[in-house]
Every structure is written in C-alpha cells, then in structure tokens.
Structure 1
Amino acid sequence: MKNIYIFVVAPFLFFSCKNEEVNAPTFELKQQIEAITLLGDTLRSPSLEDNQAYKNYQNAKIAFENAPKNADSIIWFGRRTAYLGYFKDAIDIYSYGNELYPEDARFLRHRGHRYISIRQYDKAISDFEKAVQLIKGKKDMIEPDGLPNARNLPLSTLHGNIYYHLGLAYYLKGDMTNALKAYSNRTVTEKYPDNLVSGGYWQYMIQRRLGNDEKAKEVIENIDPEMDIIENMSYHTMCLFFKNELDDLKIETIGTSSSDVLSYGLGNWYLFEQQDSLKAQALYGRLLREGNPYSFAYLAAESDWNRLFAEND
C-alpha cells in the first residue's frame, strides 16, 4: 500500500475555451451506486474517512472553487474525487471540463478511465478514440502522478495513457484485434522498463488469445530479471513467468496476498497454455472474491468469467 501523498500541479497548458459563458456548477460528493458489475454485484461509493486522500480532495476542491475555469484545477479536482472512489462524481467534473476545453484530450483520457471503472466500456472507448484524434500531431507530455512512487518519478505520458486505457477497454469488451492495435501504438511512448512490462503483460495475453503464440513470445523477449522496475513489480514478475523463468507455485503463493495482476495472469496461463479451465476458473474465482473490484486485472477476470464461465456458475 502506497503511503506517500504529494499534491502535484501540472504545468499550465493553454487550450482555447469553447464557451466562456459556461457557469461553474457546484460539485458535492454523493454516495450512490457507482457500478453494477458484469456478474451482477452492486458497488457503492465508500464512506468518507478523515485521511490524507480526503485532505488532498479538499485541497483540490478549494483550488477548483478559486479557479473554476482553470483546466488544471478541474483535472486535479476530478482525479482527487476519483481516488476517493466517487467515480460518477469525477465523470461529472471531467464532463464539465470537456465542455469548456473540447480540444484538451486530458478530460477525455481521465473520463474514459472512470467509465472503465464503472463498467461503461463503450463510453470509455468513445472517449479514448476521440482523444486519439485530438493528440495527433501534438507533442506528448509527462502525466503527473496522483499517488507518486517511491522515487517520485512519473512514468507515463498523456499519449501513452490514452493508448493503454483504450487497449484495456477493447480487451474488456473481448475485441482483441483493436486491443492489440491500441497497445501497439502505445509502444512509441514507452520510456521506462515499467511501461515495457505493463504493456508486455497485456500484449502477451492478447497475442495468445489471437493464437499468435510466437508473437506473444516476441513481445516479452527482452524482459529480464535485472530490469530496473520502480512500481510495476507484479507485471514484471508475470512476464518472467510467461518466459518460463519462474515456476507457477511461486506465482500462486504470491498471488494469495491478493495481487490481482499475478492471479489473473496465472489464470490466463492455465487457460491458454495448459488448457486447464478448472484451474483457471479457481484462480479467477479467488480473484473475484478477494481482489480490488476496480483493478484492471479484476475487471479483466470479471469480463472473462462472464464470457467463459457464467453458464457453469
């Protein structure tokens, strides 16, 4: 669990405001049903706690109220709202920002992410595809972290995150062709080993699902144990396992501590490498019982379960 919270303000970016007459609405947190999972479970907004995340939210809210038409203030207000688990409220904030700044791809990027959180994948894809059009021909930019890693080093970019989340949304829809296309585009923005292992993890599984076993091996060919990984350790571990450099017992033992990435990756391995659907189902089931219902691996397991195992449930 990360326990370092730093409020980072992104460099001010200049975008034209479409409608100077737009009135800034009042945004207050509302406890509500955030999502109905594909398996029929109800996810609600959590109770608020007086912790650092809530204090960061309060600071972002004050900054927004002091500058309600500043693009960066809106972005951070939405991000801090989403970090509390209030995804629909965050979507409303991003929608307000998108109305003011329709040429700023950041609002579609973040809103699309939260559409993924609440299982509205078609809306997410629509936002990301529009964002792809907006960033064409534009210089990429580092995206500041809301929850900085131990080195306080942002590892991702706006363009990279748009393609990464677009690929994930297509993956969750079961559209592996478009998922691969998005992740392949993302490779041009990969700068750190962390990006290589997170992208490699998803591309490997996409290629296996498409029946491209040799291409799957090529995706992770250059991933090795000595890579300097800052935060994506589980992705790194799973890629090494896919390369037969770790055994499944070790992965399973790690997975019992509710590491969603490992549990989902191992489930995939049993499903496509070992043709053992019962073992895969057991791993998916454990993940769906014990994992974080908003993690990407959980969402993927949920989608798989709905397609592959629901009839036998």
Structure 2
Amino acid sequence: MYETLTYAGGVHKSEELKELIEDLGGFILQENILQMDLILNLAVPIDDVEKVKEKSKELLGKISVAPMAGTELAIVSPTLARHHLPHAACDISEYLRRYGAKDNMIGLARGAGKGIAGITEHEKKLIEEHDLAIYALGSFKQCIMDKTFLFDDIDIPVIVTGAPEIDIEDLPGADAYISGLGRVPRRLKRGENIRALRKLVEVVENILDNKRRDMAQDPPLVPSILVKNAIENQIPAINEVISPTPVTSQLDGVRIKLDYDKYHEEIANVTINGNPLKKIAEIKKSYMYDYILVKLLSETSII
C-alpha cells in the first residue's frame, strides 16, 4: 500500500529527496517547478512515510497528505463563455490541485442558455475518461434542476455545485451537491466561499475513498503508478512531451500525452513484471487530443 503525499520546498538538493523516494520503492506522480520552488506529488510505501518526512524537514521543505494524488478529475462548465468561466469553475480547479488532484477544465458546446443547453455523446465519453466529474453550475435553483440531463447518465461519480440549497433527490444522476459555489464576478476568497470549497474537498475525498474500496474488491492487475513508472522508463518520447504530467495517473489506469496512431503499439509492448501492457490493460484512443488512454484490467477479468 502506498501513501500519496505532496512535498513543497526549494529546488536546492531536491535530488536527494527524489533518490530517497526511488530507494524506498516510491514514485513521483507529478513535478512542478516555479522559479526556485518545487512541488512534488509522490507515492511512497506507508511504512516509509516517516523517512520521507525526516528528509523533507532536513531540506526545510513541507510534507502534507495528498488524498487526491493519482486521480484525474473533470471540472465541467456549461460553456467556456465568461458568464460561466473563469470565476467559480477555475477557483474550484485551483483549490483541488492543492490536494494533489490533476484536473481538466471541460466546457460544453451548447450551454449558453437554459433553452439550448446540451451535451454531445463525444463530450460524455470525454468526461467519463476521468475518475470523477464536478459540474460547476449557476445561481438559480430551477435552472440547475432543469439541467440534470447534462449528467444523469454519466457513468462516473458526479458532484454538482451551485449557489442555492438543493436536495440531492432533486438532482437525479448526481452523487452529491455542494451549495455556495454559484456564478460570481470575483475570486472565491470570502469566508463562505472557502467553507464551501472545503466542503467540496471533503465530499470529493469521500467519493474517491469509496471508489477505491469498491475497486479493492476486484483490483487492477497492477497499480496504475507502476504502469506510469514503466512507461516513463521505457518510452523515450515521453521525455519530449512539454505538456504537464505527460503520463497522468488515474485510479484504474493512465492517460499518456502521445499521439495514439503513432505510439499505441509501442505503449502496448511496455513490459510490467514480465508482461506486456496489452495483456493486462485495454489501450484505446482518448477523446482528448487523440492521446492514449490505458485502462487496467481487473483480476477477475482474465479468469
């Protein structure tokens, strides 16, 4: 079992921490360098967490638990227009990243008004490639309730956010609803906004924990972080990708930011514990930029 953590510190001597993580059998999930500051999302064996904390203290860095690390979330907005973005949706995205989440902003093509709002099959499939979806809706109760068709048949957990109080029973298809996060023409910095964001984090963590427990009943053949590490070590083209997190971990797989048509055969032949990836996972073209999506098979799927 691994514990997911976030390290925040300086770039100086950070290689010592990375070498320790590798020696302990851990993994770097995501690395961000901001001038002279370094932020690492990492996974280490639970028994070795204290060793990492000691090294972090030695380097004058800070270690915190990152319960969302190793997951990919979708932040869905009815449109990319300014009356839906960037305020609440972008602040939700930024806040969740503090807890280790890798999230993607998705704006639907037809959400400018209640009468024409819609979602395409392509958009549904793109959203369902994630571990969880958060729909950032508006400030009017009836409008939110009338838009349940945007998420009532999405096959992953869905959290809806908006301004008014709404009973979850009035939102078929939603696993949870968080109020106090409607459309506002400013950053979400006030006390009531921060409390709503904290509530959202709590709900996201609970849903992901439940999903992990369900997966534990029939787990993937190998952990997704092992797949991520193998791909990074065996596919040289990964080093040429300039996008953040070129191999993004999910609960049950990874997203690889390489063109499917050009690299999918090479990815299929990556070896993990002596087995080619194509024998333990489904490898398909992502609905996001024709990337490669790897979904790991469960233990019972090969019986």
TM tier relative to shorter chain: under 0.3
Query: Structure 1 or 2: larger helix share?
Result: 1
In terms of fraction of residues, the more strand-rich structure is: 2
What is the TM-score of this pair, normalised by structure 2? 0.24
